[in-house]
Amino acid sequence: MRLHVISSSSEGNAYALEGNGETLLIEAGAPFEGTLKAIGYQVKNIVGCLVTHEHGDHAGRVKELADYCVDVWASPGTVEKIAGKLKPGAARCLRTFRRESGAEVYETFTLGGFEVTPFATQHDSAEPVGYYITHPETGGILFATDTYYLRPTFADLRHVLIECNHDSEKLQANAYGRIHGMTPELAERIRESHLSLQTCISTLKANDLAQVNEIVLIHLSKNNGDPAAFKKAVATATGLPTYIGRPGLTLDFNINPF
Ligand SMILES: [Zn+2]
């Protein structure tokens, strides 16, 4: 199994897990052509696309996936928001999953060999989720973005894709220095919807990382983040190989690293 990072920022998000004959897409917020290129145009292998929430940088390209009849999975609240912007024909590709009222974790469902368990995240959108994904080739994968903290912890993790959006101190300094068009109000919104470096590290440490092969940091802020410093801080705090999820990054995502 290989992970492809196609796009990872507030300008657009798209990721692919490409296995033997089956590919799972995550997020539909970047031109679909880039995803197609990354997976060698093997559309027939796509088992579905998981979307975390309705914001354009995560779901703005759903129509392009619908043109290829790719099923797009999201929470009921997210599906409702996305469907409102699609023509009925395209909305037919939308799929959803359920949870018992008030539960943090949704029903597990399968897409090919992937078992997918959505969980609630904390973001300024209708019904945002993250995904815990397992596959015999990969073991447990955590995918969490656009959330200012994560309540659940996860078992049997082998791979982690997690937002590392901003440095709290840098954000504060930018807000009061009016740097990069930042205002205290905007800084507040970011603080209440995105994962800081500091919370990213404490979230990672709250989980059992003994079996984790690598951490991939995603959705970094251009102005309030520092990729080299984030990579170093997370690698030091966890003792694990850490990557910045830059477009074009491809990683071996098998259960054993060798
Ligand atoms: Zn968002």
Output the CA 105–ligand 1 centroid distance in Å.
20
Least confident of 67-76, 82-91, 113-122, 150-159: 82-91
- Classify 114 as helix, strand or coil: strand
Confidence of residue 102 (pLDDT cuts 50, 70, 90): confident
Output the CA 120–ligand 1 centroid distance in Å.
14
Mean pLDDT of the chain: 94
Output the CA 21–ligand 1 centroid distance in Å.
31
What fold is seen in the domain 2-252?
Metallo-beta-lactamase; Chain A (3.60.15)
What pLDDT score does 130 carry?
97
Residue count of the chain: 258
Output the CA 162–ligand 1 centroid distance in Å.
14
Output the CA 133–ligand 1 centroid distance in Å.
21
**Tens digit of pLDDT for each residue in 191-225?**
888 999 999 999 999 999 999 999 999 999 888 88
Measured between alpha carbons, how far is 189 from 251 in angstroms, rounded to an integer? 32
User: At residue 257, does pLDDT exceed 80?
Assistant: no
Residues 6+ apart with CB under 8 A from 114: 17, 22, 24, 47, 133, 134, 135
**Tens digit of pLDDT for each residue in 221-238?**
888 889 999 999 999 999
255 contacts 156 by C-beta, under 8 angstroms: no
Output the CA 194–ligand 1 centroid distance in Å.
8
- What residues does each domain of the chain span? 2-252
The pair of three-digit structure tokens given for residue 21, joined into one six-digit string: 């004959």
Confidence of residue 69 (pLDDT cuts 50, 70, 90): very high
Q: Which of 25, 96, 13 is nearest to 57 (CA)?
A: 13
Output the CA 115–ligand 1 centroid distance in Å.
24
Helix (H) or strand (E) holding 106: none
**Tens digit of pLDDT for each residue in 2-52?**
999 999 998 999 999 999 999 999 999 999 999 999 999 999 999 999 999
162 contacts 142 by C-beta, under 8 angstroms: yes
